[in-house]
């Protein structure tokens, strides 16, 4: 049996952008892609506005907790998607990196987080298409 493709989403606090991206990918890819998220300086909890924004589209992530970025997480991932963390994200040779410049939802209300959520949705849809993985759920 071949190993599943794997994706790591990274943002500074692993409390908003990377958590939403991971939730979208888990929702659509099901068990077809291994999904991880982490942060270089993890927050103590996931951003409640991000949790609410995802709940609005039927995706739960209230049980998620921010995780520290490790070299192992990077080395075990086929694709690393950085989300505005600048030079603090671990870079290893031979890995595929994608960088997304997305607004930081930290300290924002759900009204400000919705457009970030929707931009992340588009990023994840493009990623699934590029990885040539059939979504477990429709992305439309």
Question: Which residues contact residue 95 at a Cβ distance below 8 angstroms, ignoring those fewer than 6 apart?
Answer: 74, 75, 77, 78, 79, 80
Q: Which residues of 16-44 are buried (b: 16+ CB within 10 A; e: fewer)?
A: bbbbbbbbbbbbbbeebbbbbbbbbebbe
From the list 7, 8, 10, 11, the catalytic residue is 11
From the list 20, 85, 113, 128, the catalytic residue is 85
From the list 25, 89, 127, 128, the catalytic residue is 89
80 is catalytic: no
11 is catalytic: yes
**Residues carrying an active site annotation:** 11, 85, 89
């Amino acid at each position: 049996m071949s190993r599943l493709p794997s994706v790591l989403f990274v943002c500074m606090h692993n409390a908003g952008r990377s958590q939403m991206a991971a939730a979208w990918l888990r929702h659509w890819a099901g068990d077809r892609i291994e999904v991880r998220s982490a942060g270089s300086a993890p927050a103590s909890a996931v951003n409640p506005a991000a949790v609410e924004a995802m709940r609005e589209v039927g995706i739960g992530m209230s049980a998620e907790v921010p995780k520290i970025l490790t070299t192992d997480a990077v080395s075990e991932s086929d694709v690393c998607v950085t989300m505005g963390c600048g030079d603090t994200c671990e870079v290893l040779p031979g890995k595929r990196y994608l960088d997304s410049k997305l607004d930081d939802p930290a300290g924002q209300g759900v009204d400000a987080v919705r457009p970030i959520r929707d931009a992340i949705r588009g990023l994840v849809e493009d990623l699934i298409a590029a990885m040539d993985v059939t979504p477990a759920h429709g992305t439309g």
